[in-house]
Amino acid sequence: MENVQQETKDRLAIRELVDNYAYCADSRDAQGQMALFTEDTHFVVFMDSKSDTPTQVIHSRADLFPVFDNLNTYHATMHFNGQSTVQLQGNTATGITYCRAHHLTLTDDGQHFMVATIRYKDKFVKINEKWLFSERILLVDWIEQGIR
């Protein structure tokens, strides 16, 4: 019974980690977002999920700031996390999360919308009873754009 309770706590903590990433992005808390990662994190972006070549590769938490700060170029964002899977292996875990990331830009021409359909392939590690991202691979499956 104790193992089931611990697994439930770990799964909830990992889901909160994933959701906190989205919350920090939408509230423009780059420092808070960075704190969700290990010092030696591996963060990889594929703006085209079918490409073998990443758009961006980052190898440390300290180097994440420009990535997260770039969200300030938008008037607003809203990330909706959907289904996710997690495989626990003691103090490590892997998972996949689906996300619809909405981005709004205001210009003299009107409102410009961009919605990215994203899959995150994650590796997690539990350090001092706290779950962190040790790797996050961001795969953009497609982008929708519009003007109002």
All domains of the chain in start order, with CATH: 2-147 (3.10.450.50)
| Encoded tokens for 68 | 């997260």
pLDDT at 2: 75
| Encoded tokens for 116 | 């990215």
pLDDT at 54: 98
Backbone angles phi, psi at 7, to 5 degrees: -60, -40
Low-confidence spans in the chain with pLDDT less than 50: none
pLDDT at 4: 87
pLDDT at 43: 98
pLDDT at 42: 98
Rounded-to-integer distance, Cα 58 and Cα 45, Å: 9
